[in-house]
Structure 1
Amino acid sequence: MAVRGRKPKPTALKVLEGNPGHRPLNKKEPMPKGKLPRCPDWLEDDAKKEWKRLGKVLAEMGMLTEIDRAAFAGYCQA
């Protein structure tokens, strides 16, 4: 079955843009809290340093959550 139309825009993005369509905001959208995930043991030493350096800042800004652990680990390892 094909789904038609645009994908819904995330609520946070609507808020940043000032909700130009003036449609009701989704109050039930999942909002993970900014939190530095546990650093994976398998990361190399330089990657662990990058995890500590950048991870804390991103978590404080609410831009890094538990959900982002795998992607952030990939970035640090690269």
Structure 2
Amino acid sequence: MSSKAEKDSVWQRQEVESPCIQICVVHPEERICTGCLRSIDEITRWSKMDNDERSAILDELPARAPRLRKRRGGRASRMAR
């Protein structure tokens, strides 16, 4: 008879987990999610991607963060006019 751990391991998959943090808001200009930094296409296709493609996207995400930190004006912009 199999142990519980052996039975449970049958249902575990070795796959790259989604970076979703359940803050799902798409930035209007950059067109990426402000929570996980993935594009709509990447979010939609995630479940169909293999681990290599998922890993490649995860590697790119940190470089996307600065795209959401750009200021759109503020005081410095108004003062320059």
User: What TM-score, normalized to structure 1?
Assistant: 0.29
Which structure has the greater CA radius of gyration?
Answer: 2
Hey, which of these two has a bigger chunk of helix by percent? 2
* Greater RCO structure (CA 8 Å; 6+ sep): 1
